[in-house]
């Protein structure tokens, strides 16, 4: 008799029931299809100010979720295991605190909050509730970015001493038409630096390490809007390294680029998009990181792959199979850098981290 017949059948992990808040462009194009593609997850409800958007998204899913206009009602009726919060920035903290208080895990769109003070409230609430809090800074899962992280971790270019990272395009109206909250100060809390700069600030910290201080300048140079359309900041790392982060909504054609210089070589990525070179000091490719190696091992050409990987990590973290990344602390550090940049721009001074309030 086969001894294997006496073994109990392996149990499938329980389905994670997810409620979604917000049905804008990023939810419709990235987060909803990514979460719906995870076998152990089911989207059971969508809440939004515009019912037609939620209903359109609901029709694309195999099991149509319920549509709500009120977030509190959705939480109380559905009692979801997890909540995805993809709303305007000013609602991130409020909705996250409510979801955590209801016992749900949270995936919140970047920036996790407009200010470091609100971001810290979210981190503290997640710790108190014992729930997963993840921030949708999915660029960590991009092929180019993962290759850079592995190269740095392996010492391929020695000790990094300088990073320059830029993320820029023509503005949110080009990819999210009609979503005017992006340029409304009361709803967005900031402009290009908060929207785009938070991505590259997170990457810079992930690549190089914790920050000591920040100085920066933002301005509204090309658009008639309430928030900044251009900004730059200087990062001072605890390691002694320096960095420059640039963000713009007034830059066409768009550019996403990263340069890192180390004691034994350099990384240059994004010139053009999805191209990368990781070279030793003599100009030869770092072993294991030639362009061909990177393209075969990390393949950056699937532009939705980072969102899918983020969704998979979120579900795995809820199930205890993975560490959440980026977690609430990562989100807080990125927002704190941007908050410090805005303070520096207002005061003309270098801002020490962590912020006092």
Distances 5 to 9, 10, 355 between C-alpha atoms, Å: 9, 12, 60
How confident is the model over 62-79, as pLDDT tens digits?
A: 888 999 999 999 999 999
190 within 8 A of 338, measured Cβ to Cβ:
yes
Query: Model pTM?
Result: 0.94
What pLDDT score was predicted for residue 12? 66
Of 39-53, 152-166, 210-224, 315-329, the poorest mean pLDDT is in 39-53
Spatial separation of the C-alpha atoms in residues 65 and 131, rounded to whole Å: 23
121 within 8 A of 133, measured Cβ to Cβ:
no
The pLDDT of 243-254, averaged and rounded, is 96
pLDDT reading at 3 higher than 60: no
- Label residue 8 by pLDDT band (50, 70, 90): low
Spatial separation of the C-alpha atoms in residues 245 and 11, rounded to whole Å: 47
- Label residue 198 by pLDDT band (50, 70, 90): very high
Spatial separation of the C-alpha atoms in residues 233 and 217, rounded to whole Å: 6
Spatial separation of the C-alpha atoms in residues 231 and 45, rounded to whole Å: 37
Structure tokens that stand for 325 in this block: 């990344």
Domains with residue ranges and CATH for the chain: 16-138 (3.40.50.720), 139-300+325-352 (3.30.360.10)
pLDDT reading at 9 higher than 60: no
How confident is the prediction for the chain on average, in pLDDT?
Answer: 94
Q: Which residues contact 178 (CB under 8 A, 6 or more apart)?
A: none
Spatial separation of the C-alpha atoms in residues 158 and 309, rounded to whole Å: 29
What pLDDT score was predicted for residue 54? 86
What pLDDT score was predicted for residue 5? 52
- Label residue 10 by pLDDT band (50, 70, 90): low
Collapsed DSSP state (helix, strand, coil) of residue 278: strand
Cis peptide before 354 (omega within 30 of 0): yes
- Label residue 95 by pLDDT band (50, 70, 90): very high
pLDDT reading at 41 higher than 50: yes
How confident is the model over 279-301, as pLDDT tens digits?
A: 999 999 999 999 999 999 998 87
341 within 8 A of 233, measured Cβ to Cβ:
yes
pLDDT reading at 11 higher than 70: no
Structure tokens that stand for 39 in this block: 């076998």
Spatial separation of the C-alpha atoms in residues 157 and 335, rounded to whole Å: 28
What pLDDT score was predicted for residue 356? 84
The pLDDT of 237-257, averaged and rounded, is 97
- Label residue 6 by pLDDT band (50, 70, 90): low
pLDDT reading at 1 higher than 80: no
Please return the burial class of 170, using the count of CB atoms within 10 Å of its CB with bins 0-12, 13-18 and 19+: middle
């Amino acid at each position: 008799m086969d001894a294997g017949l006496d073994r109990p059948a392996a149990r499938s992990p329980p389905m994670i029931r997810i409620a979604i808040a917000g049905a804008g462009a990023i939810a419709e194009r990235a987060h909803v299809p990514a979460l719906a593609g995870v076998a152990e997850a089911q989207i059971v409800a969508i809440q939004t100010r515009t019912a037609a958007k939620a209903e359109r998204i609901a029709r694309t899913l195999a099991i149509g979720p319920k549509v709500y206009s009120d977030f509190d009602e959705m939480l109380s009726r559905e009692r979801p295991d997890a909540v995805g919060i993809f709303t305007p920035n000013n609602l991130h903290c409020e909705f996250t605190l409510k979801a955590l208080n209801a016992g749900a895990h949270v995936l919140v769109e970047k920036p996790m909050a407009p200010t470091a003070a609100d971001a810290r409230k979210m981190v503290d609430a997640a710790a108190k509730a014992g729930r997963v809090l993840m921030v949708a800074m999915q660029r960590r899962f991009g092929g180019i970015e993962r290759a850079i992280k592995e190269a740095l971790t392996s010492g391929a270019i020695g000790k990094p001493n300088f990073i320059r990272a830029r993320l820029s395009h023509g503005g949110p109206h080009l990819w999210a038409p009609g979503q005017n909250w992006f340029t409304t100060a009361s709803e967005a809390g900031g402009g290009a630096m908060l929207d785009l700069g938070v991505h590259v600030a997170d990457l810079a910290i992930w690549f190089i390490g914790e920050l000591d201080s920040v100085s920066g300048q933002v301005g509204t140079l090309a658009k008639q809007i309430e928030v900044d359309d251009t900004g730059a900041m200087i990062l001072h790392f605890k390691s002694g390294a320096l960095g420059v982060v640039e963000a713009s909504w007034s830059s066409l054609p768009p550019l996403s680029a990263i340069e890192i210089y180390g004691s034994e070589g350099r990384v240059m990525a994004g010139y053009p998009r999805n191209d990368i070179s990781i070279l030793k000091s003599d100009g030869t490719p770092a072993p294991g990181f030639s362009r061909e190696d990177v393209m075969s091992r990390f393949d950056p050409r699937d532009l939705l792959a980072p969102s899918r990987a983020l969704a998979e990590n979120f579900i795995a973290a809820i199930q205890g199979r993975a560490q959440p990344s980026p977690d609430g602390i990562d989100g807080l550090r990125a927002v704190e850098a941007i908050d410090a940049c805005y303070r520096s721009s207002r005061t003309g001074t270098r801002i020490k981290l962590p912020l006092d309030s």
